[in-house]
Structure 1
């Protein structure tokens, strides 16, 4: 009886954590979706984000015996800087009328941009994985919940952003960039 209660408590805790970590994917999705995105790109980006939400906590759990406090702070700092960079790129591109700004590192349709977006929202899953590794959480349940929540929340965010972006017209990309920069600043504070 006690073991079943502990298992249910751990499941609820992991589910709440997965949804909280998935909110990054949702917010990034809104920003990208406002820029305009095809359904196929929504599926690709969400699948990669979901995969990163599996791999990053798995790596974190494996490294759970080492330097949790240091890596937690560094992961948040990196995520904030990436979001600032991506949001700034989107904002500048919108001000220049969609004209590309040098190399398109922030283009979600290219492999580099796709990986950069996925990394920016899943890097905090790594530090959470470290903490969970130190407390011997159920690794399989953790990575499945984190991956599912990350992928689902990114789909919801991308679809919501796409809908909002249509309403805003040409200002959608600028608004999306401003949203990403705001989240980046909040990560850094």
Structure 2
């Protein structure tokens, strides 16, 4: 392996961890709900898959259209996170409200889509650079899956310490991260 190839892989690893950090942050908030370890494993796998699919779509679209669509997807992801976080906050204060967004079914897909929107934008730029697509996608998926698991398990531990207030904290984290995506 040449020094150039090694440098490319190292930079892709750093990019993968950076992309996975949003999944970690958001999973920390989501993990504060009462979620079983089996469900946490599934959520990590789904988020990992989305962190592979979204940049792949971005690479394909990046070759076809301009970079302006990347900003729109980040806004959509931010609004999705705010909606999920607000729903968690409202259900924490009103116990009669049934949780609309659960990390299963369509809720899991919305959650995974919202945390992988930034990887779509990265895919747009990767499509222009000629990076080794298979290696990049594998690293993005693996890093986000592991970081999601770490965030969810840490959130589960924090839930045990904070009790009822953990859902408020979790919803606040999701809303905050959504605002960061929109305005940051």
Distance 1:60 1:6 in 2: 25
Q: 1:107 aligns with which of 91, 102, 109?
A: 102
Report 1:23-62 matches (<5 A). Answer: 23-62=21-60
Instruction: State the partner residue of 2:87.
Output: 89
Tell me the matched-pair count: 183
Report 1:26-175 matches (<5 A). Answer: 26-97=24-95, 99-100=97-98, 104=100, 106-109=101-104, 111-175=105-169
Q: 2:172 aligns with which of 169, 178, 184?
A: 178
Q: CA RMSD in A?
A: 1.3
Aligned residues of 2:26 and 2:115 also touching (Cα < 8 A): yes
Runs of 4+ in 1 over 4 A off after TM superposition: none
TM-superposed deviation, 1:45 = 0.6
Aligned residues of 1:94 and 1:173 also touching (Cα < 8 A): yes
Change beyond 3 A, Cα 1:51–1:177? same
Q: Deviations over 1:126-184 (max 9, x none)?
A: 11011001000100101000000110010000000000111000111111001100111
TM-score normalised by structure 1 residue count? 0.92
TM-score normalised by structure 2 residue count? 0.95
Q: Deviations over 1:9-56 (max 9, x none)?
A: 211111111111101110111011112211011011111001111111
Note the residue ranges of structure 2 that are not aligned, 5 or more in a row.
none
